[in-house]
């Protein structure tokens, strides 16, 4: 409820989620970024749709799609309740880094009021453990470079 409520007050709002499924309304932006996850460089793509005044962005990477309920007979966070996947730290590090890049690299023109990239003057709301690395990355990887 928060994103549409903020959009109704004429704020430009983007939500960022893993692409766990083939969301029928989301289209491939053809924008890809590289993020360092563990010892490797991973490429993520962004899918986008615009609903209720909100840019809904989905981070596309095989680490997310392969965990979809119904396709792998598994759940999103672990193979069964109370048990995590061994790669959760890597998956959500990838999500956080992609989320920090999205406002800078996506040229979104969905709204009648806003167009283009969000830029650097943004507020991030990290609302669950999956996004807990965002404040750490902001401080260590972005603020240290004056971003």
Kindly list the structural domains of the chain, giving each domain's residue range(s) and its CATH number in brackets, ordered by start.
2-143 (3.40.50.2000)
Contact 108, 55 (CB under 8 A): yes
Q: What's residue 121's pLDDT?
A: 87
Q: What's residue 76's pLDDT?
A: 73
Q: Determine the Cα–Cα distance for residues 26 and 41; give it in Å rounded to an integer.
A: 25
pTM higher than the cut 0.75? yes
80-122: per-residue pLDDT in tens? 777 887 888 999 999 999 999 999 999 998 888 888 899 888 9
Q: What's residue 16's pLDDT?
A: 95
Regions of the chain with pLDDT less than 70: 66-74
Q: What's residue 147's pLDDT?
A: 86
Q: What's residue 124's pLDDT?
A: 93
Query: Is 79 in a helix, a strand, or coil?
Result: coil
């Amino acid at each position: 409820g928060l994103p549409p409520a903020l959009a109704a007050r004429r704020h430009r709002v983007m939500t960022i989620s893993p692409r766990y499924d083939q969301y029928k309304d989301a289209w491939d932006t053809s924008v890809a970024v590289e993020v360092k996850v563990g010892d490797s460089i991973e490429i993520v793509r962004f899918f986008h749709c615009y609903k209720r005044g909100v840019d809904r962005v989905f981070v596309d990477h095989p680490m997310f799609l392969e965990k979809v309920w119904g396709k792998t007979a598994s759940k999103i966070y672990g193979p069964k309740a109370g048990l995590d996947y061994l790669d959760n730290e890597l998956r959500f590090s990838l999500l956080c880094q992609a989320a920090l890049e999205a406002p800078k690299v996506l040229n979104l023109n969905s709204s009648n009021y806003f167009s283009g990239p969000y830029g650097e003057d943004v507020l991030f709301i990290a609302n669950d453990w999956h996004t807990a690395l965002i404040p750490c990355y902001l401080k260590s990887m972005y603020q240290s470079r004056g971003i």
